Amino acid sequence: MNLLEQPGAANGLEQLRGWLASGRQPAIGETLKFSLVEVSEGRAVFAATPGAHAYNPIGSVHGGYAATLLDSACGCAVHSALSSEQGYTTLELKIAYHRALSASTGLVRAEGKVVSIGKRVAFAEARITDEAGRLYASATSTLLVFERKP
């Protein structure tokens, strides 16, 4: 079951908090070994430990791994600010890679925040940092906000 299939009139923040409380994670997080660890209105944080499971053929963590973490952080930050009648989808994701992730990087956090949100469009940003606060990648995102039919 995805968040938008959950019964009841829970808003986005309540839905995400329900997932955290239940210990559930989205399937993409299970596949790529990352987890939603914090959520508040307009903010979402994912944690991950990059490893060989995310390596590309040249022996480093694939850029798509960081992109997925950043997209998830931006998307869930926006999700946390939506009503029970709204949904969203990413329209654009712009990423800057500041340093390479590797199996020796250790735990990283992808923190997403809503920059602004309107009736039809939301803007969010996210950053991936390690435990020492070093920046690995950052992103800005434009998301379409839409009304969901019951």
Tens of pLDDT along 5-49? 554 579 999 999 999 999 988 889 999 999 999 999 999 999 999
* pLDDT per residue as tens digits for the range 63-112: 999 999 999 999 999 999 999 999 999 999 999 999 999 999 999 999 99
How is the beta sheet containing 43-48 ordered, strand by strand?
34-40, 43-48, 108-117, 121-130, 135-147, 86-97
Q: How many CB atoms lie within 10 A of CB 92?
A: 11
User: Which string of DSSP letters, residue by residue, matches 63-111?
Assistant: HHHHHHHHHHHHHHHHHTT--TTEEEEEEEEEEEE-S---TTS--EEEE
Q: What is the pLDDT of residue 9?
A: 73
- Checking if the pLDDT of 1 tops 50, the result is no
Mapping DSSP to helix (H, G, I), strand (E, B) and coil, where does residue 137 land? strand
Return the CATH fold of 3-147: Thiol Ester Dehydrase; Chain A (3.10.129)
Tokens 């009503």 belong to residue: 83
- Checking if the pLDDT of 2 tops 60, the result is no
* pLDDT per residue as tens digits for the range 114-143: 999 999 999 999 999 999 999 999 999 999
Amino acid letter for position 41: E
